[in-house]
Amino acid sequence: MRPVFHWNLGSRSLELGKRTLIMGVVNVTPDSFSDGGLYLDRDQAIEQAERLLDEGADILDIGGESTRPGARVAPEVTTRREGHEFGVKPALSDRERSERESKGAAMRPKESSALAPEVSYPTVTAEEELRRVLPVITELKKKHPAAVLSVDTYKAAVARAAVNAGAEIVNDVSGFRWDPQMAKTVADLKCGAVLMHMRGRPEEWRTLPPPGDIVLLVKRELKEWAEKAVLAGVRRERIVLDPGFGFGKNFDENYPLLARFSELQAAGFPLLAGTSRKSFIGRTLATLSRNGDGVDAPPEARLYGTLATQVALILKGVHILRTHDVKPALEAARVADAILQAR
């Protein structure tokens, strides 16, 4: 049975573990891998968010910048040596640790469908990101005051403005590592936080060295980052961890992470996972192509594969599923929850 937590969001808390919560994705971006450009207009984004609420979403995660493969993060909020953001000097950076763990190993081969394409996308400034997400958050909070809103950002300035506008969760794909002010900002805001694991940055994914045991690496680093956030003032009961499926992890690394997901419970925090329409699912489904061309299934054809991973995650202890397809995920979760409760 998965452990039960009460996730403190400041003015209220969410019970995690009795049932699986569903976080619906609203991308107010032109270039997200799955739905980029579909909801860039404010009214379209709000309409999509309301649709997800009607389908049963417990949380809405609103993002204004893509972190798809090849995307470039905004340079003004990153630091050369990751880890100093928390005010705690690390022994090694992520890159240095990975290189040391894989010393003597050959660089992995390029895989066009599992790793980042050889393209990059312009960085998004905090001002542009706020221009995209703030009107959506403000209007949703006005129309649906009880809705739980999350902002998907790694920039402290965006996090602060979004929470002041009504968001209650900051979902940071960098695990609080890219913006030196993020941990302190979240501590001051007294909101919920999701710390996601990512190896390297999106523009580096093609050249990352093999990680060794990916599950042990993710478990160790997530716990380290969470403890650093606590030292920076973020209360432990406000933190949820996400192993970051597909973020700096190739086809051969995502499945062990999925199969051994329950090992992440040892970190001592609630767990969130997002496998929705990810490329490792598309690659698996490519073998089912009628013409045998081996082309990965496109994002819109990955629903059933996504559901398979989501059920597996629930049975292995996930608390929150982040998904583009709320209604199917919710129905699958209810059945998987019933299986858990019958044990």
CB contact at 8 A, 267 and 222: yes
Q: How far apart are CA 194 and CA 239, in angstroms?
A: 6
* Kind plus residue range of the DSSP H or E element containing 314: helix 303-315
**Helix 303-315 with 251-259: angle, nearest 10 deg:** 40
Q: How far apart are CA 8 and CA 18, in angstroms?
A: 16
CB contact at 8 A, 297 and 286: yes
Q: How far apart are CA 287 and CA 294, in angstroms?
A: 6
CB contact at 8 A, 245 and 196: no
* Residues with active-site annotation: 278, 322
- Residue 67, class by beta-carbon neighbours within 10 Å (0-12 exposed, 13-18 middle, 19+ buried)? buried
Q: How far apart are CA 160 and CA 265, in angstroms?
A: 29
